[in-house]
Amino acid sequence: EADIYQTPRYLVIGTGKKITLECSQTMGHDKMYWYQQDPGMELHLIHYSYGVNSTEKGDLSSESTVSRIRTEHFPLTLESARPSHTSQYLCASSDRDGRRGETQYFGPGTRLLVL
Amino acid sequence: AQSVTQLGSHVSVSEGALVLLRCNYSSSVPPYLFWYVQYPNQGLQLLLKYTSAATLVKGINGFEAEFKKSETSFHLTKPSAHMSDAAEYFCAVSDSGGGADGLTFGKGTHLIIQP
């Protein structure tokens, strides 16, 4: 079983609030990812990181930002939440397996509702 | 660019019957292919993956999938459905040129098991 954790699991917040979604992994993986998943829809990559001090934007444009100060920690921040940010956010990590189809391990997700 | 198409947003089978979940992919380079399962209120768990070795891949919980290049397909099967198989199933692709961009997911298939 993968050791990747996300907090909070559920969050209801008002428009305009700043929020940070936490993601931590204890596997020492270099690569970490954030995906956004709307109900009944596919996952879309919004951010990823190769390692410490590396952050990249994914395929889906997002108003969120990320940071990678420590290998095990990859938080996602929304400076001013809006109802359009309501979604499920999934964090994942993987080994640097020479880009040979490495497995991504997923956290349980954070369900965000912005009122 | 790569893409994944999962035919059927919902599939219903009787307990003990064959499970067949369809996945077709598009990729300009040899792909790596994955099936993930998502149980309610949980993250994604890897079922199996194809990484250019054997075309028939066996995974956890009795699932298997066959890579067919000529059909650009990677359908997931299980000979006998169990009630515990009820979940959302996602097919995903990453190309062999680079894993840092994350996975491209299909929209998912909700598997319903009838008693």
Tens digit of each residue's pLDDT, chain B (115 residues): 778 999 999 999 999 999 999 999 987 777 889 999 999 878 899 999 998 778 899 999 999 999 999 999 999 999 999 999 999 999 998 865 544 467 889 999 999 999 9
* pLDDT computed for residue B95 by the predictor: 65
Residue stretches of chain A with pLDDT short of 50: 98
Rounded Cα–Cα distance for residues B31 and B11 (Å): 26
Say if residues B93 and B5 touch (Cβ distance below 8 Å): no
Chain A nearest C-alpha distance from B17 (Å): 25
Task: Name chain A contacts of B52, Cβ cutoff 8 Å.
Answer: 101
Q: How many whole angstroms separate alpha carbon A105 and alpha carbon A91?
A: 8
Nearest residue on chain A to B35, alpha-carbon basis: A103
Strands B73-78 and B19-26: antiparallel
Both structure tokens of B69: 């290049």
Residue A9: list chain B partners with CB under 8 A: 41
First to last CA, chain B: 41
Give me chain A's average pLDDT, please. Answer: 90
pLDDT confidence of residue B101: 62
Contact B108/A42, CB-based, under 8 Å? yes
What pLDDT does B99 receive? 45
Chain A residues near residue B94 by CB distance under 8 angstroms: 101
Q: How far apart are CA B65 and CA A45, in angstroms?
A: 25
Residues of A contacting chain B (CB within 8 angstroms):
4, 6, 9, 31, 33, 35, 40-45, 48, 50, 56, 58-59, 90, 92, 94, 97, 99-109
A106, B101: Cβ pair inside 8 Å? no
Q: Which two tokens stand for residue B4?
A: 């994944």
Q: Which residues of chain B have a CB within 8 Å of the CB of A93?
A: none
Write down the pLDDT at residue A96.
63
d(CA B36, CA B46): 4
A68 in Cβ contact with A53 (< 8 Å): yes
- Write down the pLDDT at residue A112: 96
